[in-house]
Amino acid sequence: MNKSDIARVWFTPERIWVETSDGRRGYELYADYPRLNSATQKQRESYEMSYFGFHWPELDEDLSYDGFFLVR
């Protein structure tokens, strides 16, 4: 999966969500990532999208797109 597959990104109080161009939805829990968990909503929304994932420069955190779709 890469950047061109991601159609939408949104944030809820406990998760970051992605939706792919073919309609699949996946999420990651902030609680699984201490830096994201303790970040403000503004910090969480200050991300960059690379070819393979998200990067939060201020938080020094990275998540791959594929991780959003792992079986839990």
The CATH number of whichever domain residue 13 belongs to comes to: 3.30.2020.40
Tell me, what's the pLDDT at 71? 74
Q: Which contacts (CB < 8 Å, 24+ apart) does range 47-53 have?
A: 49/3, 49/6, 49/9, 50/3, 51/2, 51/3, 52/1, 52/2, 52/3
**Residues of the domain holding 52:** 3-69
Q: Identify residue 31 by its one-letter amino acid code.
A: A
> What is the total count of domains within the chain?
1
Q: Give the chain's mean pLDDT.
A: 95
Quick: pLDDT tens for 2-36: 889 999 999 999 999 999 999 999 999 999 999 99
